[in-house]
Structure 1
């Protein structure tokens, strides 16, 4: 158990040292390229976050092409800064192309981080679909309705809008006040201009 903890501690210390050195190199390159103050400190964080996001997508097992693309971009940015500070680049006289790359990095990192964060892995989408299907209550199939022998088939229910029923009541009231008699179905149908089946259904509501 102690040996295992010792191995874990050694790996953790090594990771912290490597991250600190890479962080410092990225900061130095950003400063040399004209990014001073808090902006120079933000560049290493941006590169490392994009690297971690791409690695997590690779571990998820989905969308590996895009994940590998952004992983390589972040790795080149980090590795390039480490190599540049090894004396191969004059940090007091940074070339224009490097200034352009450093200035354009925020837009590149934002695009990569957005694509990696908002393109959900297929496994997550499948699990959401399965959860939605499990939440739906199971309904037992209803047995077919049996018609009595010799009985006439029931007419299907006709959906009547509430506004049409209110208008029919006004028409019926006007007919009753004018003639003194209740309006019949043929007259109601003629006044409303609706099919006979709908006129019968409306008359049943009056």
Structure 2
């Protein structure tokens, strides 16, 4: 699929404005005593500082970006106005010669600060009020279960149904001491905040652990 090139009015306007501003800066630098290649370097320096400040503004707004963007824009706009007949380019005042001669150092300082100063963060996450504690893994072990009695041989007519093995006991979780202390701190904080002891259901919801583990912790803390 071929794409047709369509003229962009904004792009054309930007090229025209850039070319005219470039020429005006060159003429002003040449009138201020900067001849040859030096006069052509001044508009490049102004445009580079303007672009660097604009890119910094798009990355994150701060006072330094606006300051250097305003300085570069004032230099470009000032050259356009000065060469419009308001200034005699044959007799440039001394203060303007000083500004033109000091511009390279000023532009270098601005560009260095824009590049090497970290961009301010646009969004910062608020630190959590309560540090998260690493919950140790809970190891489960089974208690001794009753042995299943061996089936006794008996006539089919006397014992038609086979004997059911007894149900094994539920596993009892082993709760580490660090987890118990963590639950105890949650219970103390709840009592200080509400004035009432925490319930087993509330502690289970706060810990977010399996029900057997929370029940074992509540039993150690003597919670109802």
TM-score by length of 1: 0.56
Q: What is aligned with 1:12?
A: 11
Rounded to whole Å, the distance in 1 between the matches of 2:5 and 2:68 is 33
Rounded to whole Å, the distance in 2 between the matches of 1:142 and 1:5 is 64
Q: What number of residue pairs does the alignment pair up? A: 125
Q: What is aligned with 1:27?
A: 26
List per-residue Cα deviations over 1:27-76 (Å, max 9, x = no partner).
000000000011000000000110111111111124x2010100110011
- Partner SS, residue 48 of structure 1: helix
- Partner SS, residue 78 of structure 1: helix
Would the alpha carbon gap of residues 141 and 112 (structure 1) be closer, same or farther in structure 2, given more than 3 Å must change? Answer: farther
For structure 1, which segment, 21-30 or 10-19, has the greater mean C-alpha deviation from structure 2 after superposition?
A: 10-19
Instruction: Please list every run of at least 4 consecutive aligned residues from structure 1 whose deviation after the TM superposition is greater than 3 angstroms.
Output: 140-143
Q: Any unmatched runs of 5+ in structure 1?
A: 127-139, 144-206
TM-score by length of 2: 0.51
Task: Select the residue among 109, 113, 117 that pairs with 2:107.
Answer: 109
Larger-gyration structure (1/2):
2
Q: Any unmatched runs of 5+ in structure 2?
A: 125-134, 139-224
Q: What is aligned with 1:74?
A: 72
Q: What is aligned with 1:41?
A: 40
Higher helix share: 1
Aligned Cα root-mean-square deviation (Å) = 2.3
List per-residue Cα deviations over 1:169-199 (Å, max 9, x = no partner).
xxxxxxxxxxxxxxxxxxxxxxxxxxxxxxx
